[in-house]
Each structure stands twice: as C-alpha cells, then as structure tokens.
Amino acid sequence: MSKKNLSDAKIEEPTNLMETNDDKIIRLLEENLEISKESLKSNKKVTRWVTWQKIKFWVYFVLIIVPLGLAVFYLPPILNQGLEQYRDLLNSFMAIGQQGNLNDVNLEDFKRMR
C-alpha cells in the first residue's frame, strides 16, 4: 500500500505543479489586464489632450495669424488715405502759419478737406 501511495503521490505532484503554473498564468494575465486598462486610460487622456491642443492651435491661428495676414493686404490703402488727409491738414496749418494771421482761417476750407 505504501507503494501505491508513493506512485499516487508522484502522479499527483505534476498535476499540482500544473495547477500552480496555471494559477500563476491566470494571475499574470489578470495583472497584465489591469496594467493594460491603466495604459488605455492614460492613452485616452493623452489623445484627448493632443486633440485639444490641435483645436487650440487652429483657434489661435484663426484669431491671430489670419487677421494679421489680412491686415497686410488691407491696411496700406487705408493708412495711405489717412496719411494724405493728415498731410493736407498739416499743409493747411503751414500755409496759415506762413501768412501769419490766424483770423483769416476759413472753416469752409477745413470742411472741404474731409
């Protein structure tokens, strides 16, 4: 009977080792699953952050760069018109100053300059 018990023990021993290996594999798979879930959460956060950064870039681009680009094309004619009016006004004051008499200033001349 002792022989039988020894032989039974030898047969059961490998199955116990297999079960422990299976338990280890299951435990490792569960740990891997938990780590994968955490990585997925982190990945989603990073992806969301990158998406918002792209949106923020385009908003800044539209709010800052586009108006500057449009200003390059549209401001020079507007500024030239304003500078011409300013030069005309200065020339009028210079002419008045050369005449030396401020009482002779005609308001109609200033109204026509507009």
pLDDT (tens digit per residue) in 21-48: 888 999 999 999 999 999 999 999 999 9
Higher pLDDT residue, 4 or 41? 41
What would the two tokens of residue 75 be?
Answer: 């401001």
Give the per-residue pLDDT at 4: 52
pLDDT tens for residues 77-86?
888 888 888 8
Provide the 8-state DSSP code for 102: G
Predicted TM-score of the model (pTM):
0.47
Distances (CA, A) of 84 to 34, 90, 95: 74, 10, 16
Q: Which amino acid would we find at residue 79?
A: L
Give the per-residue pLDDT at 79: 86
Q: What is the largest CA-CA distance in the chain?
A: 141
From 113, 63, 56, 65, select the one nearest 90 (Cα to Cα): 113
